Every structure is written in C-alpha cells, then in structure tokens.
Amino acid sequence: MSVSKFTLPDVGEGLTEAEIVEWKVAPGDTVAINQVLVEIETAKSLVELPSPFVGVVGEIFVPAGTTIDVGTLIITIHSGADAAGSAPAAAAPAAAGTVAPVDPELVAAANDVSASISAEAAELAQAEEKPEPVLVGRGTAATMPTRRRRHTGPPVAHESLAPAPAARVGPAPTEHMPRTASVGPVLAKPPIRKLAKDLGVDLAFVEPTGPIGDVTREDVLRGATQASVFRNIQTPEWPSDREEHIPVKGVRKVIAQAMVKSAFTAPHVSLFVDVDATRTMEFVKRLKASTDFAGIRVSPLLIMAKAMIWAVRRNPTVNSTFTDEEIIVRHYVNLGIAAATPRGLIVPNIKEAQDMSLLELAGALENLTQTARDGKTSPAEMSNGTITITNIGVFGMDTGTPILNSGEAGIVALGTIKQKPWVVDGEVRARFVTTIGASFDHRVVDGDVASRFLADVASIIEEPALLLE
C-alpha cells in the first residue's frame, strides 16, 4: 500500500494562500480520480479541488475555516489492495476506475420521466452531464467528455447576475399558485427540473402545458413570476446579538482593495443618457420566438453587450488601460459582466467577445452567469478584462455612477427598462425607456470620446437593426 500526499495547489495567477471552506470527504472514504475533495476560497473565487488519486482517504490535516499557504499538506490518500479492502463496501465501486461519479439528481430526474419521454430524457441527460474539475496537469483525459455542454441556466440569473434563492422564501405555494398540488409523478425533462430548482419553483404546483402533459420551460417561468411577487415581503426579526463582526478576507478583501485603488487612482468622469428602448424590447421578443435561440435565455442585457462591442470598435480608446509609461489600446474585447454572488461582487469576462455572433454571445452570457451563481468562476475567467457592464436595472435602479474595474478605462451601467411617457413625432406615447450611465478614466478618455461612445451604445438600444450593418 502506498500513501499519496496532496498539497494545496496554486489554482491560478500565482495566488499564495486560500481558506479551507468545506471538506467533501472524511477519513475512510473511498475516492476516485476527479472526485471533489474540498472547497477552498481564494482571493478571487470559490474553487473545488478534485482528487488526482484513487484510493482511501487517510488523514485530513487542515480543518475547515483555516487559511493556509500554497504547498501546505492538506490530505493523504492510501492506494493499493489494503486500502481497497478497508473501504466501506458501498464505496468500493467509486474506486474501481477513473470515471467521475454520475450526478444522482440527474439520474433521479431522468427516471421520473422515463415512462413517456425516455428517449429524449436520456439524450438531455447526456447533454447536461458535466465534466468534473481537473487540476492542471493532473487527472486523465479519457474521463473528460467531448460533447459541448448545453447551457440552460435560469433567466433571472442571466439578466440580473444575482444569485438565485437557495430555497423558497415567503408563504407556501398553495397560497399563491393557481392550482393545487398534482397527484402522481410530475412529467418534466431534466433541464426543466434543474431550472425549477434554481428558481425555487415547486413543480407539483405548476400547471403543465406540454404536448404529453409535461411541464415546459414557459410553465416554470410563469410559476417563478407568480412566486417572485412574494419573495421579498418577509422581514426577519432583529438578531439577538447587537453587533456582527465579519472578517475582511477572501473575495471581500480583494473587492475592497480593488475599489479603493480604482477610485483614488483613476479620475472618474460619468455621463448619463435616457434612451427609448422599445425596439430593443421588440427585438428581444422576436429572438425569444426564434428557433435558433431555443433553450437560451435572451434579455436586453444581450443587446447591451452587443451594443458595447459595436461602440468599442468605433471608439477604441474606451477599451484601453493606463500605465505611467504608456496607454495600451486593446483591439479585442474581453467583456466583463459585474456579478452579485453570495460571496461578493465579481467581474468575470467573456474572452474575445468581438468575434462572437449574437447567438454565441447569448450562450457565453448564460454560461458566465451560471458559473458565477454557482460560485465556480475561476481566477482566469476574472482576469484580463477590457471593459465592463453592470446591470443595475434588475434591482429597480434607474442609473448610477459605477466605479471602474481596476485596469480598465470604461464601465457602463444599464438601468431598469420600464414604460414611461415619451414624445414620439410630437405626440406623448407610452414607451419602454431606460437610462444608461457610464464612467471613464479621464486620463485616457476625453469627454468627446466618452460622449460619442455612449451615444453609439444608445443608438443601438434605440434601433437594434444597426447591428446588422
């Protein structure tokens, strides 16, 4: 029997320390290659560390809640015949090979609908299967699937980039849903079940409209809309403790340092413009009905992202970074999307967004949102951004003065889109109106460039057909 030692690795960008958040295994557990051992929090994100070894967990050296340096021994794994014999019988199959364990929720979901849509459910289950995370230079390539993952993230996260509720908040669904609980199993495909879980919707109280009595995506969204009205009406009691002391560490520490550096290093200049977004809303509606965008959430944020890329091409200076020696103008767009997560604000970015079609950009936005909401954004996904969008409109805010992401020269805030009186051809009409705000590094971006850039963004929101040029 051999003993393999696993030390805390550098998971990216030369990070020197991390906090042990939660152990996923215990001494005596049998583990397979790529099985998650522990969750750690670096200065930038929450990361799962998979096992590079097959065997039985020996000793865990670092308890949860401890911050340690890279290279510190955290766990040992025993391999060989003796280790296999000492493992619990139920865990033996996991160590038999190097294939990652199957997601039990996915299997359960597929079984529920197998009687009527078994073939389609099996296909979707295969499409939804996720590769287990692998440390750089470790694991086996044979365990990694080659099929591209279908993105079916929830629409609320796509638009707001805010975390979906972990559980239903507010009164029971029977008080507000239009129907009583269904009798017998609910027919729903695995992606639909995942969407319902993410949105906190109980499928038993959703009226199915599918061709065979199954719950569709639209049914879940309708149920989420009905439930969302009641999600924020409960006010918690005052805590018994007069004060709460939260250590400044991890993501929060990095956020604080980055905001201070940006606010007191780059002289900010901010501009605002009101925009008639009626045609954008109509365009979004047409895209939702398009078969090309089936299964992908489309929102005004997608049009804003495309407008930003188009405006950057016309005004490249806003896509710059300032150093004491030079101004570096990037002729590519790594588009950052400010994301509110349970662990704080992060800004992952879509690499090479300028080369993406509208459909590809929609998929990338959905993938970015899902990863951020799950707390799985890697340090690499948050590095090398060139310009950022913050979507404050989903919180009901009209506009704001966003602070630049450190190292960037521009950031745009998309306000809420709602109907207001608007003068069209000399007549007052109800139109969908939004306010777009933007901040720029005045060391790099002069007022005329900033104004032209924001006017270009506004012109796309007013008339998305300009994207076809």
Enzyme catalytic residues: 442
CA distance 209 to 217: 10
Mutual angle of helices 447-462 and 300-314, in 10-degree steps: 140
Give the pair of three-digit tokens for residue 411.
Answer: 């950031």
Indicate left, alpha or beta for 291 from its phi (over 0: left) and psi (-120 to 50: alpha): alpha
Give the per-residue SS3 of 339-399.
Answer: EEECCEEECCEECCHHHCCHHHHHHHHHHHHHHHHCCCCCHHHHCCCCEEEECHHHHCCCC
- Of 288, 274, 318, which Cα lies nearest the Cα of 441? 318
Q: What are the CA-CA distances from residue 292 to residues 121, 209, 243, 287, 365 (Å)?
A: 21, 22, 53, 8, 16
Indicate left, alpha or beta for 250 from its phi (over 0: left) and psi (-120 to 50: alpha): left
Helix (H) or strand (E) holding 274: strand 268-276
Beta bridge partners of 57: 77
CA distance 386 to 381: 12
CA distance 354 to 372: 21
Give the pair of three-digit tokens for residue 146.
Answer: 């080659």
Helix, strand, coil percentages (3-state) for the chain, rounded to 5, are 35, 20, 40
Q: Using CB atoms within 10 Å of the CB of residue 99, give its burial: 0 to 12 exposed, 13 to 18 middle, 19+ buried.
A: middle
Q: In what order do the strands lie in the sheet with 46-50?
A: 46-50, 36-41, 17-23, 67-69
DSSP per residue, 422-467: EEETTEEEEEEEEEEEEEEETTT--HHHHHHHHHHHHHHHH-GGGG
Q: What are the CA-CA distances from residue 44 to residues 132, 249, 346, 416 (Å)?
A: 21, 10, 8, 29
- Of 281, 257, 264, which Cα lies nearest the Cα of 441? 264
